[in-house]
Amino acid sequence: MYISLVCLILVQGIQAQILDKSWKDLVTDSDTQWYASMEAREVAENVLLYQRDIGGWPKNIQMQKPLTADEKKELMDLKLTAKGVTTDNEATFQEMLFLSNIYREQPNEKYRAAFIKGLEYLLEAQYPNGGWPQFYPLKKGYATNITYNDDSMVNIMNVLKELKDDSGFYSIQPADETLKRIEKAFDNGVSCILKTQYKQDGILTGWCAQHDEVTLEPAMGRAYELPSLSGKESAKIVLLLMSIDSPSIPVMESVASAHSWLNRVKIEGLREERTYDDNGKVVNKVMVEDANAKPLWARFMELENNRPFFCDRDGIKKYSLDEIGAERRNGYGWYTNEPKEVLKKYDRWVEANNVIEKLKAKKANPIDPFNVTVAKDGTGDYSTIQDAIDNAKSFPYEKITITIKNGVYNEKVKIYEWNTHINLIGESKENTIITYNDYFDKIGVGRNSTFHTPTLSVEANDFTAKNLTIENSAGDVGQAVALSITSNRVAIVNCKLLGNQDTLYASGEGKQYFKDCYIEGTTDFIFGSATALFENCEIHSKKNSYITAASTNPSADYGYVFRNSKLTAADDVDEVYLGRPWRIYAKTVFINTEMGSHILPKGWHNWSKPEAEKTAFYAEYNNRGKGFAPDKREPWSKQLSKSEAKKYTLENVLGNKQKSSKIAWYENL
């Protein structure tokens, strides 16, 4: 009797100990002796009961809690359903770890079978793009997003990595065929991670807690979980990438960029202070200044500028923790110190993998230096356009083609004088966008500030751009150039040039060809001294002003020639001049061009330079539309005769006087 009573007390004591622990602590902190016990077998029966036939488990369950007969029956009835099955809050991952730990000490086949079934669930739940949803089978709403939140996807990836690497961490090893699937799933997961890494102004940063499963863009979770960069989730993603043996160049670039970003956004001099009630529950959180505080990172940061923010359940951003209600302020982790592990391990990782040398070599030695690819997601030879140009051969003997994948490249790009024979080829005109926002007052270096504003500057001869949008996004704030060209034999084909004042600076003594382009702006938005032919282009005025401001060299036979083109305007625009002379020898001609009603009958303006009426050459031929009023044009402009118009051919405008049997630079574009 005494012995039985002692045993009962001991059993109750042990049971109390495991009930006092969280399920996570029980799984991870229990020693091998406990996993070999009868008590562990009893907990294992609960784990098996909670597993649905699809293979996964529900979340937030204290699996060690004893079950009544009715509860066991209810769980048996739920097995055929997928109710609540998820990888959120470490569900499924923790149960698989438990089964592995007990199988190591008590190798029962039913533990192994349940583990393998859980593994199959993870493999089945993966999207074709490599990501995992929060719930599978899929639930409506944000649960379908690719979920890095609370390290859900990273936990899955770590399971797969341990198994494919045969590390011994798990006591259960799948069949060879399954291992091949695991390896493929892991690689796809890494690809998804690289594709979802967010870029600010063309620079890789971190990750959002959730990303749209189709577009891969940052996505919203709950009402207070707005699309944002996450210090917490990004940390575990980087640590996963750093654990990969023999990492690829894209993985190295991803880690290096994320490390740099985490350094930039760390918060110093701030400490979280908590107040607890008698039960140990947090009843108040405040942030206090503390010069000796260890670095912190915000859980949510704005995508554009990394500014930390906070939210109540109303989804309205606040920029101070004390601005939100007690329930969300005290019940949510708004700050984290997890990135400290990335900073701690980074230098050792760089050294162990020879990262600096490999990244330098990659930039300097692409596989084919005459055909390289730029991709924002790190899958190309370069992730920025300027890097590709800077590493191109100087004065090459053959064309260098730089293919640019779809994306918004927020960068200033310069084709230097020695970068001759470069082709910039976008994946699509609508979705391959080079943009920047410099403007005259922002540059502020004096009267010539305009010429420092271009988004894309071309100083090299024999340059071609195709299928691109080139934009100055500064807005209507004065002079702001999108594209500047000061060189010879330059072709811009099937491109959109977007801006306001001074959109296109087509200048220099060379020849330029704009074919099948859309060019928009407000004032003098095509200006400069080049000989330039605009063929089959749409020229769109956004304001009552002037289209061209040529400054043609007096010795040039031709200036700006618009042929077979179309002049359009915004709905409220109705007074636009074809051009005015920036310099008094300006030459501008429109041939076979459709002119909208926004073009003023007088057509041309002398820019308050009466002498320009004698020296400028402004002419038209065979135009059409409501804006073509030849009888009302300024008397000092000219209507060409048919024989005069015949001189404005491709060969005459863009060629040279030396005959050659070679295909001309402006042909076959």
The better pLDDT of the pair 583, 272 is held by 583
220-365 classified as CATH 1.50.10.20: yes
Per-domain boundaries in the chain: 21-196, 220-365, 430-650
The answer to whether the 21-196 and 430-650 domains have the same CATH topology is no
Q: What is the pLDDT of residues 213-257, one digit of tens each?
A: 999 999 998 888 899 999 999 999 999 999 999 999 899 999 999
Give the Å distances, CA to CA, from 384 to 104, 338, 433. 49, 29, 12
Task: Check residue 10 and give its pLDDT.
Answer: 41
Nearest to 183 by CA among 244, 103, 250: 244
Beta strands at 496-498 and 469-472: parallel, antiparallel or unpaired? parallel
Task: Tell whether the model's pLDDT for residue 425 goes beyond 70.
Answer: yes
pLDDT at 378: 66
For the ranges 27-31, 322-326, 345-349, which has the lowest average pLDDT?
Answer: 322-326
User: How far does Cα 661 stand from its chain's mean position?
Assistant: 46
* pLDDT score, position 517: 98
For the segment 299-317, the average pLDDT, to the nearest whole number, is 92
DSSP-assigned letter for residue 424: E
Percent of the chain with pLDDT over 90: 83
Residue 364 above 80 pLDDT? no
Kindly tell me if the per-residue pLDDT of 399 is higher than 90: yes
Better-predicted residue by pLDDT, 278 or 388:
388
Q: Could you report the per-residue pLDDT of 309-318, keeping only the tens digit for each? A: 999 999 899 9
605-647, pLDDT tens digit by residue? 999 999 999 999 999 999 999 999 999 999 999 999 999 999 9
Q: Look over the chain and give the mean of its residue pLDDT values, rounded to a whole number.
A: 93
Task: For residues 276-280, give the mean pLDDT.
Answer: 83
Can you read off the two tokens belonging to residue 532?
């330039």
The H-assigned helical ranges of 106-230 are 109-125, 152-164, 176-196
**Three-class DSSP labels, 301-369:** ECCCCCCECEECCCCCEECCHHHCCHHHHHHCCCEECCCHHHHHHHHHHHHHCCHHHHHHHHHHCCCCC
| Confidence category of residue 1, pLDDT binned at 50, 70, 90 | very low
Q: Are 99 and 35 in contact (CB under 8 A)?
A: no
Determine the pLDDT at residue 456: 98
281 pLDDT band, cuts 50/70/90, is: confident
Domain spanning 21-196, CATH architecture: Alpha/alpha barrel (1.50)
Catalytically active residues, by annotation = 502, 524
Q: What pLDDT, on a 0 to 100 scale, did the predictor assign at position 580?
A: 98
Q: What is the CATH number of domain 430-650?
A: 2.160.20.10
Longest pairwise C-alpha distance within the chain? 124
In this prediction, residue 19 carries a pLDDT of: 80
Per-residue pLDDT band for 379 (boundaries 50, 70, 90) equals confident
The secondary element (H helix, E strand) that includes residue 526 is strand 526-528
* Rounded distance between C-alpha atoms, residue 121 and residue 117, angstroms: 6
Residue-wise pLDDT tens digits, 522-573: 999 999 999 999 999 999 999 999 999 999 999 999 999 999 999 999 999 9
How much is the pTM?
0.60
Share above pLDDT 70 across residues of the chain, in percent, rounded to a whole number: 96
**Structure-block tokens of residue 12:** 């109750």
pLDDT tens, residue by residue, 443-452 = 999 999 999 9
Q: Does pLDDT of 7 surpass 60?
A: no
